[in-house]
Amino acid sequence: MKKSPIYTRTGDAGTTSLVGGTRVRKTDPRLEAYGTVDELNSHLGQLAADTLTQPDDLATLTLIQNKLFNIGAYLATDNPDHATTECVGLGHQAISQIENRIDQIDSLVPPLTQFVLPGGSPAAARANIARTVCRRCERRILALEETTHVDPAVIRFINRLSDYLFILGRYYNNLTETPEKFWDKNC
């Protein structure tokens, strides 16, 4: 069996194909949305590779990475008729799994009484970078939603994911006994 070529040269003029074959500019809002999902997924891969990542979070991150591939494929599919479509595998159960892990982690970290500055331990800093990319991903998906239907479950999933990444950063600081830094509005 012959291997597929890594390069096709079809995107050299600044266009690419959506699922279904429609060619669009690489600056299209749909590309911005699923490209940012891909970027987020790469950051999650980095978090999953961190030695601090506990088995429960490795399982959660793996689940999330797979769901992000579903979201990427969904967003990469042209919807010229603006039909109401659903993203595969993003039912209530997927969001509940993330919420359950958020609740578990939240019970292990000190109560939050102030705004936490991003950073602390290296793993916490990476979680916060992923969180900010997740928020940008959410904005890109909402921008796409202004022009076509986007499954509301996609937006809920991404929103909940940013919450998970926030608490994961706090958890990494807790595991490493790294004091959190709090916002000093008088600074």
pLDDT per residue over 81-124, tens digit each?
777 889 998 988 999 999 999 999 999 999 998 999 999 999 99
Question: What is the pLDDT, as a whole number, of residue 136?
Answer: 98
Count up the domains in the chain and report the number. Answer: 1
The CA distances from residue 104 to 21, 51, 167, in Å, are 43, 20, 10
User: Does the pLDDT at position 163 exceed 80?
Assistant: yes
Q: Give residue 79's pLDDT band: very low, low, confident or very high (50, 70, 90).
A: confident
What is d(CA 133, CA 64) in angstroms, rounded to the nearest whole number?
15
Q: Which domain holds residue 157?
A: 23-77+88-175
CATH of the domain at 39: 1.20.1200.10
Is 187 a member of any domain?
Answer: no
Question: What is the pLDDT, as a whole number, of residue 6?
Answer: 74
Is 42 a member of any domain?
Answer: yes
Is 18 a member of any domain?
Answer: no
Is 186 a member of any domain?
Answer: no
Is 59 a member of any domain?
Answer: yes
Is 158 a member of any domain?
Answer: yes
For the chain, the DSSP string reads -PPPPS--STTTTSEEEPBTS-EEETTSHHHHHHHHHHHHHHHHHHHHHSTT--HHHHHHHHHHHHHHHHHHHHHTB--TT------TT-SHHHHHHHHHHHHHHHTTSPPP-SPBPS-SSHHHHHHHHHHHHHHHHHHHHHHHHTTS---HHHHHHHHHHHHHHHHHHHHHHHHTTPPPPB--TT-
Is 142 a member of any domain?
Answer: yes
Instruction: Give the count of beta carbons closer than 10 Å to the beta carbon of residue 20.
Output: 10
Rounded to 5 degrees, what angle do the CA atoms 99, 102, 105 make?
Answer: 150
Mean pLDDT calculated for residue range 171-176: 96
What is d(CA 63, CA 92) in angstroms, rounded to the nearest whole number?
14
Is 3 a member of any domain?
Answer: no
